[in-house]
Amino acid sequence: MRAARGILSATAVLVALGLAACAPVEITPAKVTYTASPPAEKTYAPEPPEDPRPQIAWPLTGLDASTASPEELAIPAVAVKVPNDSKARPQHSLEHADIVFEEYVEAGIPRFIAVFHSRIPETVGPIRSMREMDPNIIGSLGGPLVFSGANRSVMDVARRSGQFLLAEDLGSKGFVRIKGKVAPYNLHIRMADILAQSTDFTAPEPQFAFAYPAEAATAALYGTPATRIDLRFSRYGEPSWDWDEASGTWLRNEFGEPHVSDEGTRLSAANVVVLHVRVYTNFSLPVSEMIVSDAPGYVATGGKYIPIRWSKADRTAPYVITTEDGQPVQLAPGTTWVELVPNAGVSDTYANFS
């Protein structure tokens, strides 16, 4: 019996130990504080700035031509001789020209060569005679030169140059007389007829380099501020230009009065380019020397101006315009007026900026 009780006691101890071993252990968790991080903000690469350069641009103005038809883009540039004496003003359709050249002719009376390409008006006028330098002025455009009459010797020079000529006295079509003005200031042209006779020619090459945006034009970036340009060709020609901040253009005057078209539109330009020229006499007529390797001038854009150097290798070569240290000059997109102001061969002429 005593042995049996011992066995039972031992068994009880083992059972107790087993039950103790099977009892769950109480675990006290560690005190840990967890703070969730805010979600990371996603960063995106900035959108690239919109390219200000148009995919398609008019070659003579640098302006957007994306809405033009292939047929409109392919037409040639038409250069038209227009007088600028008091009886000729106000002229018709000058405000539509892409480029206007102002030249010195006999007695110092200025005359225009208005170049039309991106905007073709129905009619242009009045039309006047050609001078010896005209083919050299516009030969790089590759299109027709439209005029009325010329000295026989001048006509021979122009024909030998290879310049395509359209004139009333050559039998060309499209010349009409209008009412309200006396001859020779009543002669106009119909542009559709002029273009119909110019089908062998294509669109012109750019004559100038353009900056995008306009504020990046060379004179606008690096030039000297100016609000006024005073020019003198002679006592018969004293044009001036006023900078207009609101429109971003230069506004033209004649002898201090606004120069307007016959429809009342003020003539204006994004760029005024002054090319100084030497004037000499041939066939008893003054000739502006246009084939030059290095000549002075100025470019005015964005209310500022810079001195420049310019050259033109031959009649069909482009104009090359650089800064005085030889860097290319870029203009603002838009209309350009080129003032061919004498600085040799003629006295009392100037180009002043203020």
Q: Digits of tens for pLDDT over the chain (354 positions)?
A: 444 444 334 444 333 434 444 445 554 554 555 555 566 565 555 665 667 889 999 999 999 999 999 999 999 999 999 999 999 999 999 999 999 999 999 999 999 999 999 999 999 999 999 999 999 999 999 999 999 999 999 999 999 999 999 999 999 999 999 998 999 999 999 999 999 999 999 999 999 999 999 999 999 999 999 999 999 999 999 999 999 999 999 999 999 999 999 999 999 999 999 999 999 999 999 999 999 999 999 999 999 999 999 999 999 999 999 999 999 999 999 999 999 999 999 999 999 999
Query: Would you state the pLDDT for residue 48?
Result: 57
Burial class (CB in 10 A: 0-12, 13-18, 19+), 305: buried
Q: Which of 104, 156, 25, 143 is nearest to 278 (CA)?
A: 104
Pair 204, 141: CB distance under 8 Å: yes
Query: Would you state the pLDDT for residue 26?
Result: 56
Element containing residue 13 per DSSP (H, E): helix 2-22
Grouping H, G, I as helix, E, B as strand and the rest as coil, residue 163 is coil
Which residues, in sequence order, are bridge partners of residue 232? 350
d(CA 169, CA 157): 16
Count Cβ neighbours within 10 Å for each residue of 317-328 and write b for 16 or more, e otherwise. eebbbebeeeee
Flag whether 29 is in a domain. no
Query: Would you state the pLDDT for residue 38?
Result: 62
d(CA 88, CA 144): 22
pTM, 2 dp: 0.86
Q: Could you give the count of Cα atoms lying within 13 Å of 55 in the half-sphere of its Cβ?
A: 4
Flag whether 162 is in a domain. yes
**Cα-based distances in Å from 194 to 29, 106, 129, 143, 187:** 99, 28, 16, 11, 14
Longest dimension (CA), the chain: 162
CATH of the domain at 328: 3.50.90.10
Flag whether 63 is in a domain. no
Q: Which domain holds residue 217?
A: 70-353
Number of domains in the chain: 1
Q: What is the chain's percent helix, strand, coil content, to nearest 5? A: 20, 35, 45
**Cα-based distances in Å from 272 to 136, 212, 276, 304, 305:** 20, 18, 13, 10, 9
